[in-house]
Amino acid sequence: MVARAERRRGGRGDGAGLVARSRRPTLEDVAAQAGVSRATASRVVNGDPRVRAEARESVTRAVSEMGYRPNRAARALVVPEPDSVAVVVPESEKRVFADPVIMGMLRGISTGLEETPLQMVLVLARAGRDTQRLERWLRGGHTDAAIVLSAHLDDRVTAVLGEIGLPTVVIGRPPPSGQGLPFVDLDNVSGARLATQRLLDRGCRRIGTVAGPEDMAASRDRLVGWRETVRAAGLAGDAVEHGDFSSESGRVAMRRLLAAHPELDGVFVASDLMAAAGVSELQASGRVVPRDVAVVGYDDSPAAQLTHPRLTTVANSGELLAGEATRMLRDLLDGREVRSTVLPTHLVEGGTA
């Protein structure tokens, strides 16, 4: 019987004919046939305009081929309002819970959702790993929207979110795979220029940098701002070491920087955690901060309070970015148009520069 049913339907062996003959197809069947999440299939069936054309065509075709008809009684029981937002962080647990900027963003998102029915769901995935598991979860229709933070250039997270048409806002400039998704970011190039200019204004003439990870847009932008500023001043732009924004990576990077360029008299460090560890390393080497080497960090996080004197740094309010991202996401869910936003920053005075 199965073989005859498949022959009558054009010889397809994907099981669609069997579903149609043996039972009424469900929305899950339609989603599987179309290669999208249940949430995306539901949006198409319910006429939601926030679905990409390709996904809409796949679902519409599957509905037609399978003879799917929505269960009106079940639909009447469904609460139309979305009830969860996935906060996707492609980082390890150790990185997330040790980074004050990320924790500030999580607080900001939580605060931004307080007066809504939306529940925040934290989803962690190590950068460059756990990708398939995360993709399966996102495609499974377990959430109604997403906020992505700390995205890396090799992550497929933003690409998947774009493919399934899930309402999404990215904190930070998205990687190429996520182009087209709305985002809120800090003007990291200008922030790095401010930091480097402060070192120049102090009279520093051999200025290095401890940059962040090479696979993150924020790190690259801060490196660009530093390099443009030192070169505009006629100085060399070769004293560069990279860390991963963690404290220990900042210590190691500063040690390497001093070994390669012992004449340094100023350093811009791309995060406060790395900068605080870098100041300790400078002091351990016998250098006095800022007399011998001036230092400017980035973030104005609690880590800026860990140095003596207090760290001079650049403001980067994770809670402010998260609040704006949450507002944008609520607008998306309400069907309103949103535009990407780049926020300004400023120097925060301290004693290290």
What tens-digit pLDDT sequence spans the chain (353 residues)?
A: 233 333 333 333 344 443 433 467 888 888 999 999 888 888 787 666 678 888 888 988 888 788 776 654 444 444 446 689 999 998 888 889 999 999 999 999 999 999 888 999 999 887 555 667 888 888 777 888 999 999 888 778 898 898 888 899 999 999 888 888 999 999 999 999 999 999 999 999 999 999 999 999 999 999 999 999 999 999 999 999 999 999 999 999 999 999 999 999 999 999 999 999 999 999 999 999 999 999 999 999 999 999 999 999 999 988 999 999 999 999 999 889 999 999 999 999 999 99
CATH number of this structure's domain 84-186+319-343: 3.40.50.2300
Q: How far apart are CA 317 and CA 309, in angstroms?
A: 22
Q: Please say whether the beta carbons of 181 and 134 come within 8 A.
A: no
User: Which DSSP symbol is given to 142?
Assistant: -
pLDDT of residue 130: 62
Cα atoms found within 13 Å of the Cα of residue 163, Cβ hemisphere only: 15
pLDDT of residue 112: 93
Report the length, in residues, of the chain.
Answer: 353
How big is the CA angle at 244 (ends 240 and 245), to the nearest 5 degrees? 95
pLDDT of residue 136: 80
Domain limits, the chain: 2-77, 84-186+319-343, 188-314
pLDDT of residue 310: 98
Is 84-186+319-343 the same fold as 2-77? no
Q: Where are the alpha helices (DSSP H) in the chain?
A: 2-8, 16-22, 27-34, 38-45, 53-66, 72-77, 93-98, 100-112, 131-139, 157-164, 188-201, 217-232, 247-260, 272-284, 318-333
Q: How far apart are CA 325 and CA 176, in angstroms?
A: 19
Residue that has been written with the tokens 């979110």 in this structure: 161
pLDDT of residue 187: 97
- Is the peptide bond preceding residue 176 cis, with omega within 30 degrees of 0? no
Q: How far apart are CA 148 and CA 121, in angstroms?
A: 12
CATH number of this structure's domain 188-314: 3.40.50.2300
- The yes/no answer on whether domain 2-77 falls in CATH 1.10.260.40 is yes
How big is the CA angle at 132 (ends 128 and 138), to the nearest 5 degrees? 110
150's CB contacts (< 8 A; 6+ apart) are 89, 90, 91, 102, 127, 171, 172, 216
pLDDT of residue 139: 79
Burial of 242 (0-12, 13-18, 19+ CB in 10 A): middle
pLDDT of residue 16: 41
Q: How far apart are CA 313 and CA 350, in angstroms?
A: 7
pLDDT of residue 142: 85
Taking Cα atoms as reference points, which of 279, 250, 269, 253 lies closest to residue 198? 269
pTM: 0.77
pLDDT of residue 79: 42
User: Which DSSP symbol is given to 173?
Assistant: P
* One-letter identity of residue 231: R
Task: Output b/e per residue, 258-293; b: 16+ Cβ within 10 A.
Answer: beebeebbbbbbbbbbbbbbbbbbbeeeebebbeeb
